[in-house]
Structure 1
């Protein structure tokens, strides 16, 4: 009988192909891509998974100890805002961008007539985060800036769009998003940066301070500022592109190739801003994050004035999905490291993955990984469909309404899962897991920023309330859950399906209750509500996919779905201690090692009482 992947043959979770070992992401993309998209992408994702598992992973550990350094001034005391990168980081950049991680979603790659869906960009980000979530930040913002220019630029910034979407590293520029100000934080409407039009130069100039600027020296930076006589709050904000170099639309942006050839900019070529310092961060060392002072900084208006917050929201949607994909990638890498360590670590005469407690822990880590990936890449599929519809001039309002609910929840839940999984992965490794020589240390440090980037859990929970109140997002949510549950018919799934249907009705009741309560009470329960939506939606999603897998002759996902429902939605007497449930032991090879399951044996596996 096929026992699945033997993790004992690996020394650690590197020097291997992440794509080939991760059956979860492979299944999700096969489900969400069209047949021709998957046929084109499979070999490239395999190549990328191998690249990340070898070169990128090795370089990432070195970069964590020898990250970017800032030289604000040259030897004559003139501002030159030079960020010095280790050679290993430049190698990673060239390899990753030239694999098409951004370009392929905006420009038809070789062998295709049209671009890949944006979910392909997110899938590559997911694999990249097995090795370096910090580097994924510039990748995500480059894609986000490209999306904003695609949607809102009138063509005057086409040279910047071409740089953001280049698959040639020498012609590439990276994106960034300078949003946070010291006094504002999540209250974007409190931003104080001002923009004034310079008639002589024919451009805008910005004055103000940005407090937490990741990818500080990007050439394709987007920033919000308030023009003269603009209203207060978010309604008065406009969006500007703020290049690292003094912008000249005729010569185009200052590309990676220019930087590599010329080194630091001459002081007269530096845009009028000061990179004050880099933040001394806990993790994500590979992305330089710092403080920026705008002092008459030359800037280029993106789209219409006073539409900046709406434009930034479009970028934030993709950034939040990128954050969720990064969380899933960290969970996947921690799970891989934990499986590998447990299969090799001898204690009391056996490897520790043979002991019941460790087996249960690895099963639940694997189920969490399955759940996170299923939710995030279903949301990514819908996001891609919406973007393609808009490009083609078709209406996508219904999809947008659902995404307004799913996207903040995707980021909210998976970021927390990444932190908790990374923390437990350190525990599995014992003292070694706490030491910087082992990757679990870095994965936890990198994961800790994910609940903060692109909105904290509280901010996202309030966004969920806004989606329900303003978009009636519960309507497409309920319709989707009902459709998923209606497709489930296999007897093995009957019990979990009944539980999920009951919880779905309770969720609907909870939403009806909140609709009749005052705003203060709704805010009090917003976080619980967001997690509840994740649990019910994900359970329905897993059950539908389990049904499909059962019809194809494999019952493995039925075991995953059952475990997820039991963990997140069932209320068990005495906390299940007296239930006799041994699924974690009987299903270990199937859930943890991806061993296939004959549907005919499922009754025996899950227990006769079910």
Structure 2
């Protein structure tokens, strides 16, 4: 594969600039940013890619070997809830947050009059995951908590919002979301944590257990709890901000600077909660995950009571796209490591990237990476568009309905691609990839959590496409009914799949929105599932201009010559002579072709080869395979025959979105959905 980069000059995928080495990310950022936004962001993304490739990558390897530790009690037996981090973790936090990975999306950065779109935060998270996917979890939840407080927070939560979006590390607090309970899991409506209001103290207190709490010591933690006399299911849940420190005795949010300067909190400053233990996890070591018991923890109500589930979905949308960006970052790092190893590793007399099978594997990984990146940032563009409209007081119902489908699909498919690619990247390195000395080991361990975070594949598949439902009906975290028989998914889903039986009629009434949204999302579904046809097209195009498939020789420039040169006059004369020559009856099987038959067949095969070679060369020279989605169009084709399945083919074409903007040449990348 010749992408203009000499991977042989790198020893490994560190001490390099991840922004300059990732063409897929650069192309998507250029496509979805406005001209002014891109002009401002390009230099900063390049600088952040350099920081991640050097300082953050080195620190991340150390943190993976020396992860956080928990001291739940002090020497006197008082609750301490103190998490010890290595100094390298604090350094990574400082580098990322002061680069504006969260602040730029909420406060106008230097040199701009307004905040950057959320897609800018996702692009920086993408780069961060080249080095430390675990640290991306606190970053994503900090941005998500800030988004919730921006929309639903009151004056009492303003200090926490300002600390979540601070550009100065000493004034910063991180966010978290305590959602999972032992008996509930994805069934959020079964949560049992309760909230009690003390009128005499004018304070809410939480009682209950949370089972899987990542970034456990965050000062800006959001949690769901059920108030007294609230209905069952998700309709009875309210959202609360539960600080790590007691909000009364600590006198406001306890920032990073205060913790670094003063050390652990005093016993009377610790909120009424107990961090029982840290989970012993397979990966994402840099983010501490614990079990938490609320024993009357003081909390602040966010927005209105019994609106917690709706508020949580605002955070989940961003979290799921952050999950998708993390998946793309992991795939990018694994692909980079694989290309570097293939360029440097010699076997049987030449680098292994010269062999057809290895080249085909690298092409497949590249296609998956570019497709996942294009899909993720198209969804990110829509999310940024919706948030921009919301800040301007405008409606964006169509975009919101589309996001309900695109975001779960992006999270689901990119997570699975990350796991598969990380696994094969380890195989490419061989036995060395299986040991801890190389980053491919950690990338696979970190990738394994991505299909689980923010909803498993089955939970995301049950996400309902219709509009709002009646309050009080039990629902899962994905928004699907707990009783499948009551789900209203059938009409919209039947149209979305392209039901071949013809038994699903056009929906009416409340399902019309689902039907319309399904028609719009079909191209996205096609892109996100099983890129079969594009692999053949991409592999064929790359093979035309890369190293030769025979003996490692470089292919000469110019049009490809026919594989076989034959003297057609001589062949025709020989065939005519063979036909005239009598065939001896002795020793000739009647069902065996004669010499003349074999000659005619050779002529026909040679002609077909020349025609295929000529047409393939013309097609390869006129088509640029560059997976990049700007405009989506759908066409449905049927194979001949009554039993042939119907397939939906999605074509992505590139067109300029701003006058004068330089965009890639037109491309045709088809994803086949069966």
TM-score category, normalised to shorter length? 0.7 to 0.9
What residue number does 1:347 align with? Answer: 347
What residue number does 2:602 align with? Answer: none
CA distance in 1, matches of 2:429, 2:452: 26
CA distance in 1, matches of 2:523, 2:416: 15
- Asked if the contact 2:274/2:292 (under 8 Å) is kept, the reply is yes
Match of 2:465 among 456, 464, 467: 467
Instruction: Report how far residue 155 of structure 1 moved.
Output: 2.4
- Asked if the contact 2:68/2:286 (under 8 Å) is kept, the reply is yes
Q: How does 1:350-365 map to 2 (within 5 A)?
A: 350-365=350-365
Question: Cα 1:277–1:8, aligned 2, differ >3 Å: closer, same or farther?
Answer: same
Question: Cα 1:140–1:4, aligned 2, differ >3 Å: closer, same or farther?
Answer: same
CA distance in 2, matches of 1:167, 1:237: 33
Q: How does 1:135-284 map to 2 (within 5 A)?
A: 135-248=135-248, 251-284=251-284
What residue number does 2:617 align with? Answer: 604
Aligned-pair Cα RMSD in Å: 3.1
What residue number does 2:603 align with? Answer: none
1:21 aligns with 2:21: yes
Question: Cα 1:581–1:198, aligned 2, differ >3 Å: closer, same or farther?
Answer: closer
What residue number does 2:105 align with? Answer: 105
What residue number does 1:586 align with? Answer: 544
3-state DSSP of counterpart to 1:115: coil
After superposition, give the CA deviation of every residue in 1:482-502 in whole Å (9 maximum; x if it has no partner): xxxxxxxxxxxxxxxxxxxxx
CA distance in 1, matches of 2:558, 2:243: 58
Instruction: Report how far residue 240 of structure 1 moved.
Output: 0.2
Question: Cα 1:445–1:510, aligned 2, differ >3 Å: closer, same or farther?
Answer: farther
CA distance in 2, matches of 1:176, 1:22: 30
Moved more, 62-71 or 599-608: 599-608
What residue number does 1:49 align with? Answer: 49
What residue number does 1:127 align with? Answer: 127
What residue number does 2:533 align with? Answer: 566
CA distance in 2, matches of 1:326, 1:84: 25
What residue number does 1:68 align with? Answer: 68
- Asked if the contact 2:406/2:521 (under 8 Å) is kept, the reply is no
Question: Cα 1:512–1:321, aligned 2, differ >3 Å: closer, same or farther?
Answer: farther
CA distance in 1, matches of 2:500, 2:342: 42
CA distance in 1, matches of 2:103, 2:500: 43
Instruction: Report how far residue 514 of structure 1 moved.
Output: 6.3
3-state DSSP of counterpart to 1:156: helix
Unaligned runs of 5+ in 1: 472-503, 518-528, 540-562, 569-575, 590-596
Instruction: Report how far residue 198 of structure 1 moved.
Output: 1.5
After superposition, give the CA deviation of every residue in 1:123-144 in whole Å (9 maximum; x if it has no partner): 0000000000000000000000
Question: Cα 1:105–1:345, aligned 2, differ >3 Å: closer, same or farther?
Answer: same
Moved more, 598-607 or 211-220: 598-607
CA distance in 2, matches of 1:114, 1:197: 39
CA distance in 2, matches of 1:388, 1:460: 26
Instruction: Report how far residue 582 of structure 1 moved.
Output: 3.9
What residue number does 1:520 align with? Answer: none
3-state DSSP of counterpart to 1:406: helix
The TM-score normalised by the length of structure 1 is 0.82
What residue number does 2:526 align with? Answer: 536
- Asked if the contact 1:405/1:468 (under 8 Å) is kept, the reply is no
Bigger relative CO (Cα 8 Å, ≥ 6 apart) = 1
What residue number does 2:32 align with? Answer: 32
Q: Which has the greater radius of gyration? A: 2
- Asked if the contact 2:188/2:234 (under 8 Å) is kept, the reply is yes
Instruction: Report how far residue 510 of structure 1 moved.
Output: 5.9
What residue number does 2:93 align with? Answer: 93
3-state DSSP of counterpart to 1:189: helix
What residue number does 1:310 align with? Answer: 310
- Asked if the contact 1:170/1:255 (under 8 Å) is kept, the reply is yes
What residue number does 2:382 align with? Answer: 382
3-state DSSP of counterpart to 1:76: coil
CA distance in 2, matches of 1:333, 1:97: 22
- Asked if the contact 1:587/1:605 (under 8 Å) is kept, the reply is no
3-state DSSP of counterpart to 1:225: strand
- Asked if the contact 1:461/1:530 (under 8 Å) is kept, the reply is no
Instruction: Report how far residue 199 of structure 1 moved.
Output: 1.8
After superposition, give the CA deviation of every residue in 1:411-457 in whole Å (9 maximum; x if it has no partner): 00000000000000000000011101100000000000000000000
3-state DSSP of counterpart to 1:467: coil
Unaligned runs of 5+ in 2: 470-493, 508-518, 548-556, 561-613, 624-674
Instruction: Report how far residue 330 of structure 1 moved.
Output: 0.3
